[in-house]
Every structure is written in C-alpha cells, then in structure tokens.
C-alpha cells in the first residue's frame, strides 16, 4: 500500500491534520493503536482558543461547535473567599469557546468516516522506517496480519507515550522536562455548572477548578498528591474536599451528583526539540506537554498542525521546502510561550509541598498584582485567549 502522508495517532492532532490535508488533496492514512470508542472515552480538554476554532472551521467540522460550544468572555479567580473576574473582552477583545475535546474528536472522526479516508483503528506494533531518507515506510499489524505503507512523509501525532518520538535516535533529540509534585483529580457530572464562567481556585488546601462541558454537564478538578489513587476517592470524599476549597457563593451554587467519569492526571511540562527528523514530523503531545492549568495542550496541537499542514501542502503544490525547513522553529516559538504561561498559571494557583515562606509570599504578591494591575490582567487574558499563530 502507498499513500502520501502516514499519520500516527487519531487524537485531535492526527485527525485535524488528516482533515486539513485531505481538503487540499493530499492523501493520508491514519494509524491508531486504540479503538475509536476508547479514543472517545478519554475525557480531556475543554477550552478552545479562537485559532483552534478557525482551524476546525477550515477543516469543515465547525458547525456543531458553533451551535453547541459556549463562548466565554472571561474567567474568574477565587482566592481568600473572594472572586476576581478577568474580563477578556475589555482587556484584549477576545474570547474562548468551551467545547470538549471528546466532541472535537467525534466531529473530526465523523467527517473522516464520511469522506472515505482510511483510518486503521487497533493498529498494533506500529513502527517507523526510513524517515532519514526519501522513502519512509510505516509497518503495523492489524487483526494478526502484517502491513506496510510506503509514503513521502510521516506525521507523529501519537501523544506523549507514542512510538514516533521514541523512534528518533536519542542523540538527535533534546528533552526539557519538569514534573510537578501533584496531579489533578477530575470528576465529570451531569449537573449544571456552578457559575457561567470557569472558576480557578487558589486555596490553602490546594488548587481547584470549576469547569463545564455544557449547560447541564460540569467538570471539576482538585489538586491532589502525585501518588494518589483514584480508587481511594469516593464521590462523597471528592465533593467534601471540593467544598472546602470553594468560596461561599460557589458552595451555595454547587450542584453535586454521581460522577460519570473520575480520573487523575499528572502535571508535567515537557518539550522535545527539534520537531523534525528528515521526513518525520512530530506534532501535539508527541512533542510537548503542558500542565493543564493554562488550557493550552489541545490548542498547541492545533497550532502545530496548522504549520505542518501548510508546509506539506506547499511541498505538494510547488515542491517548496521552506515551510518544512522552518516547521520546528515556528512551532517551538509558540510552544515555549505556552509552556511559560502554563507554568506561570500553575505556579500562581497551586500549593507546592516544599515551598518556604518566601515562596508563599511571592505567590500572594503575584495574585495581588493580578487583582490590582490592568497590565497583569491583560497579560493573563492575552495568553489565555491565545497568542497569534
Ligand atoms: P493525544 O490526544 O494523546 O492523541 C494521541 C493518539 O495517538 C495514539 N497512539 C498511537 N497510535 C498508534 N501507534 C502508537 N504506538 C500509538 N501511541 C499512541 C493514542 O491512542 C491517541 O489516540 O495527543 P494529541 O492528538 O497531540 O492531542 C493533545 C491533547 O489530547 C492534549 O494536549 C490535551 O488533552 C491537554 N489538555 C488540555 N488542553 C487544552 O488545550 N485545553 C484544556 O482545557 C485541557 N485540559 C488536558 C486538559 C489534558 C488533560 N489530561 C488528562 C492530560 C485536562 C486534562 C485532565
Ligand atoms: C477542562 O474543562 O477540562 C479544563 C478547563 C480549563 C483548564 C483545564 C481543563 O485550564
């Protein structure tokens, strides 16, 4: 079998890249190790920057997002029992759209199935070959049968644990990593959100976040120790701990119920440089991870894919290499800005087990600056709604 681009991974990065390439007439095959149901069962991101929305529109999958997504013009920060609003509209004239990653993935999967493009789910033992030359190939097994696809390019969109980054010789890769000493315990519940906008909570017991998926479905997170086990958290224990961290009006408005999903996510900052190795290109979580506090992971996947799709289309149209040669540099510029913002939001709002009194005072001062300085608010707003591509 032969195609132009093999995409490894059917997460949002792989599916969006596949859609953007197909619209420009570039043939591609997606290989995904899990089943479609498994991919759709992962509850992850919830906030889309305008740039990501524009890419989904360009891919032709924006209709439901515009119908059902919730446009948010600000967020709230709760600290010492008081809520402070960061008004994106008046500060930077922007907004974000609250629309779950599950729905983005479903829209992309449905469109791909309709287009007839090939996606192989439950592809086992995917391996990458010859990307340092002109004739790369990808091998895999499906239903016990071995397959090989010859291609021009391979896009590694297979997330943090994927095979693509691991296929690159160690010496060719520089890795930067920080693992935070805590995680987020998240609960999904079919109850209306407690506030029309997201509430980020800084509390002495730890960070909390009140988010949502729709007007009837809420997503809550609490900071927990990194080695916590989800089995040890009954719904009751979760709601009790969340209530302790919320301000009074939030507590009064909180509507609890049986969780429909509960999981713990570690917090990690990670960047692998560069993103190109011959004819292999990394995109999304395969190349970088941000802690979720800034809501940037899915959005960075969309901007990587924007650069990669553009570069590949230029190559197929005019054999123009410039976009491919510049791919790493353009992505990394935006990646490091998002890493900085996510690291700053995480440092601002979480409790760090090993902080001394000076560190604690720095955090207080940073929050005080945010409440009192329009410039500080503007900086948060500018980054949250998304820096330009
Ligand atoms: P994904 O989504 O991990 O998809 C990679 C796909 O590759 C497959 N795969 C393989 N396929 C074939 N062969 C192999 N050897 C393979 N190995 C892996 C996997 O099965 C999978 O289907 O990466 P992608 O596409 O780069 O997308 C990245 C986003 O998923 C991620 O950045 C976000 O979810 C991060 N994130 C958030 N991002 C935001 O922009 N806004 C948010 O509000 C936000 N909240 C979050 C988040 C991530 C979270 N968790 C669980 C880490 C909240 C949480 C709790
Ligand atoms: C979410 O709704 O899952 C979510 C929202 C904002 C974040 C992180 C996660 O910063």
pLDDT-based confidence at 274, cuts 50/70/90? very high
Q: Domain range holding 241?
A: 180-267+349-385
For ligand 1, atom 26, which residue shows the shortest CA distance?
284
Average pLDDT for residues 194-217, to the nearest whole number?
Answer: 97
Are 130 and 193 within one domain?
Answer: no
- Taking residues 120-147, what's their average pLDDT? 98
Task: For residue range 80-99, list pLDDT tens digits in order.
Answer: 999 999 999 999 999 999 99
> What's the CATH number where 337 sits?
3.50.50.60
* Atom 4 of ligand 2: nearest residue by CA position: 46
Catalytic site includes residue 306: no
Q: Do both 160 and 209 map to the same domain? A: no
When pLDDT is averaged across residues 22-33 and rounded to a whole number, the result is 98
Query: Which ligand is closest to the CA of 286, given by its number?
Result: 1
Long-range CB contacts (< 8 A, 24+ apart) of 38-42? 39/10, 39/11, 39/105, 39/109, 39/121, 40/102, 40/105, 40/106, 40/109, 42/101, 42/102
Q: Judge whether residue 360 has pLDDT over 90.
A: yes
> What's the whole-number average pLDDT of the chain?
97
Q: Is 66 a catalytic residue?
A: no
For residue 45, the model assigns a pLDDT of 86
Check if 158 has its Cβ closer than 6 Å to any atom of ligand 1.
yes
Check residue 44 and give its pLDDT. Answer: 86
Report the pLDDT value the prediction gives residue 42, as an integer from 0 to 100.
87
Q: Are residues 232 and 380 in the same domain?
A: yes
Phi/psi at 75 (nearest 5 deg)?
Answer: -130, 165
CA of 98 to the centre of ligand 1 (A): 17
Catalytic residue (choose from 12, 55, 72, 288): 72
Catalytic residue among 288, 296, 306, 350: 296
Q: What is the mean pLDDT of residues 248-272?
A: 97
Average pLDDT over residues 44-50: 93
Do 51 and 141 lie in one domain? The reply is: yes
**The predicted structure's pLDDT at residue 153:** 98
Catalytic residue chosen out of the listed positions 12, 193, 291, 292:
292
Distance of CA 15 to the CA centre of its chain: 14
Q: How confident is the model at residue 201 (pLDDT cuts 50, 70, 90)?
A: very high
Number of domains in the chain: 2
């Amino acid at each position: 079998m032969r195609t132009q681009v093999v995409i490894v991974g059917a997460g949002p990065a792989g599916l969006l890249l596949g859609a953007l390439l197909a619209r420009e007439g570039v043939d591609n095959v997606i290989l995904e190790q899990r089943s479609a149901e498994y991919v759709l069962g992962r509850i992850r991101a919830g906030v889309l920057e305008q740039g990501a929305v524009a890419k989904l529109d360009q891919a032709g999958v924006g209709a439901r997002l515009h119908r059902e997504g919730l446009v948010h013009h600000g967020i709230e920060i709760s600290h010492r029992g008081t809520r402070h609003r960061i008004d994106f509209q008046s500060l930077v004239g922007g907004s974000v759209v609250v629309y779950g990653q599950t729905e983005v993935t479903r829209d992309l999967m449905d469109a791909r199935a309709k287009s007839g493009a090939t996606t192989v789910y439950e592809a086992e033992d995917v391996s990458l070959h010859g990307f340092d030359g002109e004739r790369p190939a990808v091998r895999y097994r499906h239903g016990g049968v071995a397959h090989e696809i010859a291609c021009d390019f391979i896009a590694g969109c297979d997330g943090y644990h994927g095979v693509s980054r691991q296929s690159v010789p160690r010496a060719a890769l520089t890795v930067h990593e920080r693992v935070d000493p805590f995680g987020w315990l998240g609960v999904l519940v079919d109850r209306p959100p407690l506030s029309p906008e997201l509430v980020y909570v800084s509390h002495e017991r730890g960070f909390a976040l009140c988010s949502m998926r729709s007007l009837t479905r809420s997503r809550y997170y609490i900071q927990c120790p990194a080695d916590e086990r989800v089995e040890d958290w009954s719904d009751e224990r979760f709601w009790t701990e969340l209530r302790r961290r919320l301000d009074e009006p939030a507590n009064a408005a909180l509507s609890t119920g049986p969780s429909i999903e509960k999981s713990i996510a570690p917090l990690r900052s990670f960047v692998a440089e560069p993103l190109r190795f011959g004819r292999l290109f990394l995109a999304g979580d395969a190349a970088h991870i941000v802690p979720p506090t800034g809501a940037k992971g899915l959005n960075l996947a969309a901007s990587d894919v924007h650069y990669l799709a553009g570069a590949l289309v230029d190559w197929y149209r005019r054999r123009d290499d410039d976009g491919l040669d510049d791919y790493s540099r353009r992505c990394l510029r935006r990646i490091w800005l998002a890493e900085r913002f996510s690291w700053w939001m995480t440092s601002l709002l979480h409790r760090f087990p090993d902080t001394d009194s000076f560190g604690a005072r720095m955090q207080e001062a940073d929050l005080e600056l945010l409440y009192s300085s329009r410039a500080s608010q503007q900086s948060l707003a500018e980054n949250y709604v998304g820096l330009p591509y």
